[in-house]
Chain A
């Protein structure tokens, strides 16, 4: 286990490039989504993940095939990171038939059974017991899988989170509780909403181990994810990762974010940005050149532009879709 802590110097070039691509894809995708929202092509609520990319990319690097994930409404990054297609996600944002939910779910409600992504939940905190329930099923079926249940610092004050901690610990459920602490529950800072400075420490009351991690460092996130996953997979029960991160944009597209200063956001962007961090490692480690990275940027841009095009071209759902998928039919 000692060798587990990946030092920043011995990470492979391929891994670094992979994280770079994945994080950049999420950022560019979200920027494009913001643009389409401004154009009126995406409606309703749209919560962007910009700034938090290292969290999902680091944890997906610690996951194995078949592991599950479930999250809140700020879910685009999680979907891209677990391998769902940009086209299908963007087309869902525009409410088109080519979307993952045929246009019937929207930004906050998307799923992929194939990629073991169980939503996309619009009610703050509801995904936490659902995540524990997925882990309950895995333990019942004895398939060795682990579930990542993501939630924010805001959701961490919901009672059901602690109901779930209690049962997950009582029944040794293989679930990693991932607190994505971006410091603001919509417009309320952690200081104004949360009695504990370190949220993960609340797990101690239930005997659940946990730790705080710098969420702007994808390598640190991956290393912590590996520790958590190993703990869960070995049958020792749940684990809490409080990942300190930051969202650059407002809570949703309609949030003017007046509760924090422009300087605060700017400072983190300049000093802590997760993508810049990996970019530096790639360049200073002489893994690749500026030109190589530019080529990657270009590829990513192409993927994102294609998804936007797909999301515009994909037809709206047929009108009879209003009446489908309300009830599942029994298998004959």
Chain B
């Protein structure tokens, strides 16, 4: 019986990959454990081994092909003596990659739907004539760190696997080569200890960038982040503080269970003395990280593994920075305000598309920075739209949305035509099962339900 060899998933978030190189040819006999191909994921180049034995009947995907979807057939393995024509032709060869971006515009949702409204996309605030380049969030973060390290000798990067391994998520790829082991430093797996050392280094005149492999592990370092880094400026009467950045992926990735899937935005946003940044797009990731590294305070920079591989247009400027503490209006609208940050923006923007189809003009605000929090932009928007839905991935109790909602009650009560609804992750530890995980996360459908509710539709 011929067997289809399928494109493997080689990381929790991999949806497609590049078939970089075949290490077997048609007609080769292979046994289990033989290396068949090199596959490039967004994180690394991995070797892919045969599970079954047989003869390579046909290579269905040419080497060098990018965007090969996980689970699409890449080769056919035949039994001894079997020929390709004996084997049933593979049903679906190289199914097109399921494009996450392809959003089927929703059919008008309610019977009272109006004509679609035009989407008012807000342009970048950059000098006229600025050219743009496409960068992934991953590349943007790397560029930000590298540019700052080039211009300031006291900036250095430390964390687990940042140097020789080239970064657990390939963020720091190539940086060891450029900056050397004095400035790109692999630490042992010892978050409490190296966070404390980095705080001491910041007291001592350096500007550390500390990478946590994920922010889940930063809980081990929490005492130094809060008690040592955030409070010292105050406790010393302004004499000394900790100019440093703690960064790394935060929030749910995919199918990694409760201990590796938590959004800490609200935790850190609670602490005076910290600044907290959580970018959505690559241009913001770059501009905000550069500002964070220059900032004389400890900055928590929350990234998202799922966004790392997504591309955005980034201003092609030698020193592009975005100030901390300013929200970004992605779309202007008049009927409802959607407030989000980080990966929540994906659902907010999708919902805004669907609302436009319904004839509802949504204003979409990316907070970008959770401390200091630009409440003025939200309040001003709600004074115009009179309705607000917040969207985030974190737990519901004491969420960023709860805080926004409280601010709106105090500062825009008379403008509200409906209660603010906070869309959040569910109040449960993250389950592993695919269906339950999906249920635990906030969805575009939930945002739509909330939006329709505040619109009384």
Contacts and interface: CB of A to CB of B under 8 A. Distances in A.
Given A104-B234, A126-B223, A327-B297, A164 B196 contact: yes
Contact of A167 (B156, B193, B238): B193
A72 interface: no
Interface string B232-259: 1111111111010000000000000000
Most interface-central of B223, B228, B234, B240 (chain A CB within 10 A): B234
Which one of A70, A99, A134, A331 has the highest number of Cβ atoms from chain B below 10 Å of its Cβ? A134
Chain B CB count within 10 A is highest, among A101, A135, A160, A330, for A160
B202 A329 contact: no
Interface in A88-102: 99-102
Contacts of B275: 327
Contacts of B31: none
Contacts, number: 155
B201 A126 contact: no
A58 B300 CA distance: 41
A105 interface: yes
Contact of A104 (B193, B198, B237, B295): B237
Nearest to A108: B235
A68 interface: yes
B236 A163 contact: no
Interface in B207-224: 223-224
A80 to B, nearest CB: 18
B296 interface: yes
A130 B238 contact: no
A1 to B, nearest CB: 29
A43 interface: no
Nearest to B229: A130
A35 to B, nearest CB: 25
For B196, B198, B232, which residue has the most chain A Cβ atoms within 10 angstroms? B196
Given A113-B239, A119-B232, A164 B201 contact: no
Given A163-B190, A167-B190, A328 B233 contact: yes
B235 A101 contact: yes
A194 to B, nearest CB: 20
Interface in A271-329: 324-329
A329 to B, nearest CB: 7
B297 A328 contact: yes
A224 interface: no
B34 to A, nearest CB: 39
Nearest to B275: A327
B142 to A, nearest CB: 22
A327 B273 contact: yes
A68 B205 CA distance: 12
A140 B156 contact: yes
B205 A137 contact: yes
A326 B232 CA distance: 9
A141 interface: yes
Contact of A328 (B188, B193, B241): B241
Contacts of A159: 192
B233 A123 contact: no
Give the interface size bracket for A toward B.
35 or more
A136 B234 contact: no
> Taking each of A109, A113, A134, A327, which has the highest tally of chain B beta carbons within 10 Å of its own beta carbon?
A327
B272 interface: yes
A22 interface: no
Contacts of B199: 129-130, 133
Nearest to B187: A167
B197 A105 contact: no
A146 B49 CA distance: 52
A17 B256 CA distance: 65
A164 B236 contact: no
Contacts of A153: none
Contacts of A163: 188, 190, 192-194, 196
B227 A122 contact: yes
A262 B168 CA distance: 58
B294 interface: yes
A177 to B, nearest CB: 13
A286 B240 CA distance: 46
A160 B192 contact: yes
Nearest to A175: B200
B239 A164 contact: no
A240 B269 CA distance: 39
Contact of B237 (A102, A130, A141, A327): A102
B196 A119 contact: no
Contacts of B196: 126, 128-130, 132-133, 160, 163-164
Given A122-B227, A164-B193, A330-B296, A133 B239 contact: no
A138 interface: yes
A118 B236 CA distance: 9
A34 interface: no
A238 interface: no
A132 B200 contact: yes
Given A101-B239, A109-B236, A326-B273, A134 B200 contact: yes
Nearest to A171: B185
Contacts of A170: 188
B454 to A, nearest CB: 35
Nearest to A68: B204
Contacts of A119: 232, 235-236
Contacts of B204: 68, 118, 133-138, 141
Contact of B228 (A121, A137, A140): A121
A131 interface: yes
B237 A325 contact: yes
A189 interface: no
A123 B238 contact: no
Contacts of A68: 204
A109 B236 CA distance: 7
A227 interface: no
Nearest to B241: A328
Contacts of B238: 102, 324-325, 328
A130 B296 contact: no
Nearest to B291: A330
A123 B238 CA distance: 20
A166 interface: yes
Given A130-B228, A159-B192, A330-B295, A105 B237 contact: yes
A111 B188 contact: no
A315 to B, nearest CB: 14
A133 B197 CA distance: 4
Given A138-B204, A167-B188, A325-B237, 11 more contacts: A101-B235, A112-B239, A126-B196, A129-B194, A132-B197, A133-B196, A133-B199, A133-B202, A134-B201, A134-B203, A137-B202
23 contacts: A104-B235, A111-B236, A118-B240, A119-B232, A126-B223, A130-B228, A132-B196, A133-B197, A133-B203, A134-B200, A134-B203, A137-B205, A138-B204, A163-B193, A163-B196, A164-B196, A167-B193, A167-B197, A326-B272, A327-B233, A327-B273, A329-B296, A330-B296
Interface of B: 156, 182, 187-188, 190, 192-206, 223-224, 227-228, 232-241, 243, 272-273, 275, 294-297
